[in-house]
Amino acid sequence: MLASRKNMKKIALNKLEKNIAEYILYMYQMEDLIRAYDFNLEEIRQFVVSHYPIAESEKQETLSWFAEIAHELKSSGIEKRGHLVRVQTHMDTLAKIHWEILKTDKNYFELFQKAKPHLLQLVLEAKGENPGNEIRICLHSIYGQLLARLQGREIPADILEANERFGDLISYLVFVFHQREREKIEKN
């Protein structure tokens, strides 16, 4: 039974290959988990990895992966907040595709128009802070909903509606992203 389970690193790599947005959200969780344990790898081993239903060798690989992420967070000076460079690079790629297809794809433009009022509302609520590009706002809002659910908090109807629109937009964008990735592979 343990052989069929994937460790957390393999889950991340699978998400990276199949759904870039899920990968970004998963990595946000891993960053926050490391921060929640104050970068204490022994506690992550004891309270997280040891309870994961995988073989001992996989647990060691998972702990090493957490150590790599922790090192990246520290060396990038983002111990308190911010995202790994590799995660941000994928976010930037999605934003670039967003701006490109917004001008050329009628279906995507229509999805964006449905999400736009919610995006504007979140920008206004940022009260002078830079919330980032539209794709970052969408993914952060979806991640916020995930965290609220994990904490058992009630999610306001307007946020649920916004995230529904954001999910539609991101799903389309992810489809285009992976389609382009497949085309790159096929050309080589």
Domain that holds residue 25: 2-75
Q: What is the pLDDT along the chain (188 residues), one digit of tens a residue?
A: 344 467 889 999 999 999 999 999 999 999 999 999 999 999 999 999 999 888 999 999 999 999 999 999 999 999 999 999 999 999 999 999 999 999 999 999 999 999 999 999 999 998 878 888 999 999 999 999 999 999 999 999 999 999 999 999 999 999 999 999 999 888 87
Residue 80 within a domain: no
Residue 7 and residue 61 in contact, taking contact as beta carbons nearer than 8 Å: yes
CA distance 23 to 19: 6
CA 5 to chain CA centroid, nearest Å: 22
What is the number of domains present in the chain? 2
pLDDT at 1: 37
Are residue 99 and residue 180 in the same domain, yes or no? yes
Q: Is 157 exposed, middle or buried (0-12, 13-18, 19+ CB in 10 A)?
A: exposed
**Residue-wise pLDDT tens digits, 2-45:** 444 678 899 999 999 999 999 999 999 999 999 999 999 999 99
Look at the chain and count its residues. 188
User: Final residue of a domain: which of 75, 105, 139?
Assistant: 75
Q: Where a domain ends, among 45, 75, 105?
A: 75
Q: What is the pTM of this model?
A: 0.92
What is the residue type of 70?
A
Q: Report residue 74 CA to chain centroid gap.
A: 19
φ, ψ of residue 64 to 5 degrees: the values are -65, -40
Q: Quick one: 13 and 49 in the same domain?
A: yes
Structural domain includes residue 183:
yes
Both 35 and 96 in a single domain? no
Residue 145 sits in the same domain as residue 171: yes
**Helix and strand numbers, DSSP H then E, in the chain:** 8, 0
